[in-house]
Structure 1
Amino acid sequence: MPNTYFQFKQFRIEQDKCAMKVCTDSCVFGAAVDVAGAQRILDIGAGTGLLSLMVAQRSQAFIDAVEINPEAQVQAAENFAASPWAERLYLHPVSLQKFAENHQVEPYDIILSNPPFFLFSLKSPDSAKNAAKHTGELLFEDILLFAKQCLAPTGKLYLLLPPAEAALFRKLALLHNFNLAETTEVYTYRGGKCIRHIQTYTVSLPVAPAVKQFFIREEDKVTYTSEFALLLQEYYLQF
């Protein structure tokens, strides 16, 4: 049975109310997002609030988090309130579509999302997990339409997606004049399969996107790589 919380160095994620628990690839994503100089950040599909809290720890930005699931709304709000950065974290308990209708603040320097993403896999009998993992109420098109309106001209859009869905998102992004600037391919271990792509999009002139590889564990499938330890050393208790 999963723990009811995940303890980081500077904050705790309570997760008993959420279908989707803290996972390693989300932690890699949260630590990899470049927040240098960011003043306003939006987290789409906040879940437990993990990504918002991770970027809050490394920045001075004001962070809006949008979450539609009632249980996750409660969980994220509690996690925000218990953190050292509560005054900079704002939970919006609405859909992205509804949030967009009332959005009147300054553009965001960073928009990030670990969205419901499984388009090509079988669904689970668990309806809560389906909502968290499969596209439905939150579509890729909605994210792009919002980013087109609300991302600063020099801002960046970050996505965490499986490889197949990442390829689809890239095609849709081009239709909205977003260019893929960088892809980090995340592997479970050296010699293993790529499980996720961290994609960075901009509206700047298109260039050949940089492609990097990131390995979570060594070939023994047990030992964390030095690059993983370095990336997560500000967060994980064991580093």
Structure 2
Amino acid sequence: METIHELLGYERIKIVQRRDMFSFTLDALLLADFARVKGENESVIDLGCGNAPIPLFLTLKTTGRIVGVELQEEAFRLARKSVAHNGFEDRITIINADIKDVHKTLGHNVFDIAVANPPYFRYSPESNLNKNDYLSVARHEIAITLEDIVTAAKRLLREGGSLNMIHRTERLGELVAALRRHNFGLRRLRFVYPKTDSPAALLFLAEARANRKDDVVVEQPLYVYDDDGGYTEKVLKIFNFKK
């Protein structure tokens, strides 16, 4: 059953979801907030957009071209409906394609910014997969890997273009290695902690630049929940962006 929700309280932005499918998470909004859009005309591609929470949020940050690429047909359909419901057809284009091949349609070196909220878990025959095929593909590297995402971004980004990603901290070393193989320079890193007293970060946000050297700035940590179990002021600030 399809439902229409506000995008985390943004009354003027709605998102179409299905209760039996993978709904968007806070992670997507953290990534959309983290991605720096320096000019209002910068073009953005979301590599694996799901039902389009990141493209929808990015309409608050840029009037430039936004493209979402989604492999799974039902998620693609929901993304298209979300775009149409908000009247963003002239700003957001959703493509049903494999990101490994989408450069053949979109071309090389055509975007300023790439974002990716990828499957977090490696896949093996022993993986404990969800019975829901959509959830399995969204959470495990069945259809796309971390290496595939970095490869695709390198093909699609202009010289100096930025790749922005959110991932689990145990995959950071793997990401850094992939960035080096494809001549990306790591520029920003921010660790995300569940709570202020959490012993370790669960996630990280990273920005890398195509054909640039490493020049890393580790930003202040982001704590999601405060001691009372509510969202911290920094997270609430994201929810209130341009309201």
Verify same fold: TM over 0.5.
Answer: yes
Q: Aligned equivalents of 1:27 and 1:150: distance in 2?
A: 23
In structure 2, the residue matched to 1:204 is 212
Q: Secondary structure at the match of 1:15?
A: strand
Aligned to 1:173: 179
| Residues in 1 aligned to 2:157 and 2:222: alpha-carbon distance in whole angstroms | 27
Residue 68 (structure 1) aligns with:
71
Task: Quickly say closer, same or farther: Cα 1:225–1:105, change in 2 above 3 A.
Answer: same
1:18/1:109 Cα in 2 relative to 1: closer, same or farther (>3 Å)?
Answer: farther
Work out whether residues 17 and 71 of structure 1, in 8 Å CA contact, stay in contact via their aligned partners in 2. no
Aligned AA for 1:86?
A: E
SS of residue matched to 2:136: helix
SS at match of 1:11: strand
Shift of 1:114: 0.5
The Cα offsets for residues 97-133 of structure 1, whole Å up to 9 and x where unpaired, read as 2312222376211000101121277322322211111
CA apart distance, 1:26: 1.8
Please say if 1:152 is aligned against 2:158: yes
Aligned counterpart, 2:222 = 214
Aligned to 1:86: 89
Secondary structure of 1:65's match? strand
CA contact (8 A) 1:28 1:232 kept: no
What is the one-letter code of the residue matched to 2:178? Answer: L
Q: How far is 1:223 from its partner?
A: 2.1
Q: Give the C-alpha shift of residue 217 in structure 1.
A: 1.4
Q: Which amino acid in the other structure matches residue 132 of structure 1?
A: A
Structure 2 equivalent of residue 230 of structure 1 = 237
- Cα RMSD over matched residues? 2.2
| Residues 156 and 200 in structure 1, CA contact (< 8 A), matched pair in contact too | yes
Q: Is 2:34 aligned against 1:32?
A: yes
User: What's the TM-score, normalizing by structure 2?
Assistant: 0.88
Query: What's the secondary structure of 1:7's corresponding residue?
Result: strand
* Structure 2 runs not aligned, ≥5 long: none
User: Cα deviations across residues 141-183 of structure 1 (Å, max 9, x unaligned)?
Assistant: 2222222222111211001111112321111111111121111
Distance (Å, rounded) in 2 between the aligned partners of 1:43 and 1:3: 23
Superposition map of 1:11-160 within 5 A: 11-16=13-18, 19-37=21-39, 38-104=41-107, 107-119=110-122, 122-160=128-166
TM-score of the two chains, using structure 1 as the length reference: 0.89
**Counterparts of 1:50 and 1:18 in 2: how far apart (Å)?**
17
User: Secondary structure at the residue paired with 1:224?
Assistant: coil
Instruction: Provide the residue aligned with 2:196 in structure 1.
Output: 190
Residues 130 and 60 from structure 1, CA distance in 2 versus in 1: closer, same or farther, beyond 3 angstroms?
A: same
Give the distance between the partners of 1:18 and 1:29, measured in 2 at CA: 24
Give, in whole Å, the separation in 2 of the partners of 1:133 and 1:191.
27
| Segments of 4+ moved more than 4 angstroms | none
CA distance in 2, matches of 1:172, 1:68: 22
* Partners of 1:41 and 1:111 within 8 A in 2: yes
Fraction of identical pairs, as percent: 19
Counterparts of 2:192 and 2:75, CA distance in 1: 26
